[in-house]
Amino acid sequence: MDILNDILDTLDLNGALYFRTDFSAPWSVTVPILETAARFHLVVQGQCTIALPNEPNIVLNSGDLILIPRGQTHILSDSPVECAPPLETVLEQAGYDGEGVLIIGEGDKSASTQLICGHFTFRENADHPMLRALPDYLLLTASERAQNPWLDDILRLISRQMFSGHVGSDASVKRLSEVMFIEILRMAIEEQKDIKPILKGFQDPHVSKALSLLHNAPSSHWTVKSLAKEVGMSRSSFADKFADLIGQGPMSYLSDWRLQKALFLLDESNISVQQVAEKIGYQSPAAFTRAFAGKFGLSPSQYRH
């Protein structure tokens, strides 16, 4: 099993809002916070500045892409500013109805900033150590794109589709952008210091085998001892290694992952709460309900309703 794909499928990664922009200076906009979402901005032409809370200003040039994994608020502008009008106000003033290009200003067309903006959503309460380890932003420059030809090809295709206006282009962009997100995650896992332990966990022969076992059979009655035996390690050495690389112990990971699978099943299937409990490894619906309510603040039936 590809563990990363299983994680993103279970957390319900979905490409959502996409639009093109054509901004002529001076312009600025405050993008509001959007929880359980990851935002991105791809500069097709020109240059812009992004201001994130408690971060130095970031200048994006043509070909650069920034991903903001936790959907935190930020300011987009042609030059550094301390405040900017909210996105809703900008959309209203521009008369933007969600179709076509968002245009601000009427300056020199050749000097305008053209962006492709969008976001990805996750299921409410989506959680995983990999997502927690992501930094506040991931920046991919044009030169770094050149070193990742697969990702560069995807970004070029997204740009072509967004500017083509062809029938079905929206659906194509949605699918392409989801692949883009996965590829950026793969790249980030390899390059970001805080995520490197998780990459090692995915690649370590013992921990990766344990993760595969947990993801393939979350309903099995796993213990630290049984997992350690399966991967050929002592109980204590395995528990320490798993926690060091993944950021939590194997039983804690399993407990959290079972509840993420429960969210998936409650949303995506019509099976009963009792059947959900059985599928994810709980001995009784009552035990499942207690664990679910303790984690999410409401019962499985209330969540589904």
Nearest by Cα to 260 from 291, 284, 225: 291
Nearest by Cα to 46 from 98, 137, 116, 99: 116
- CATH class of residue range 204-304: mainly alpha
Q: Give the pLDDT score at 127.
A: 92
Go through the chain and tell me how many residues it has.
Answer: 305
Q: Give the pLDDT score at 15.
A: 81
Packing angle, helices 3-10 and 205-216, rounded to 10: 40
This model's pTM is above 0.85? no
Q: Give the pLDDT score at 29.
A: 93
Q: Give the pLDDT score at 71.
A: 87
Lowest mean pLDDT among 54-63, 82-91, 176-185: 176-185
**pLDDT grade for 172, boundaries at 50, 70 and 90:** confident
Q: Give the pLDDT score at 131.
A: 85
Percent of the chain with pLDDT over 70: 91
Q: Give the pLDDT score at 93.
A: 83
Name the residue with higher pLDDT: 149 or 195: 149
Q: Which CATH superfamily is domain 3-196 in?
A: Regulatory protein AraC (2.60.120.280)
The yes-or-no verdict on residue 166 having pLDDT over 70 is no
Average pLDDT over residues 91-111: 71
**Do residues 278 and 219 touch, judged by C-beta distance below 8 A?**
yes
Ordered alpha helix ranges (H), the chain: 3-10, 87-94, 129-133, 142-146, 149-164, 169-191, 196-203, 205-216, 224-231, 235-246, 250-268, 273-279, 285-296, 300-304
C-alpha to C-alpha distance for 138 and 278, rounded to whole angstroms: 39
**Do residues 195 and 188 touch, judged by C-beta distance below 8 A?**
yes
**Do residues 116 and 156 touch, judged by C-beta distance below 8 A?**
no
Average pLDDT over residues 166-173: 70
Nearest by Cα to 74 from 87, 90, 61, 65: 87
Q: Give the pLDDT score at 160.
A: 83
Q: Give the pLDDT score at 302.
A: 95
Q: Per-domain residue ranges for the chain?
A: 3-196, 204-304
The yes-or-no verdict on residue 70 having pLDDT over 90 is no
**pLDDT grade for 163, boundaries at 50, 70 and 90:** confident
Q: Give the pLDDT score at 111.
A: 64
**Rounded to 5, what percent of the chain is helix, strand, coil?**
50, 20, 30
Q: Which two tokens stand for residue 70?
A: 């936790």
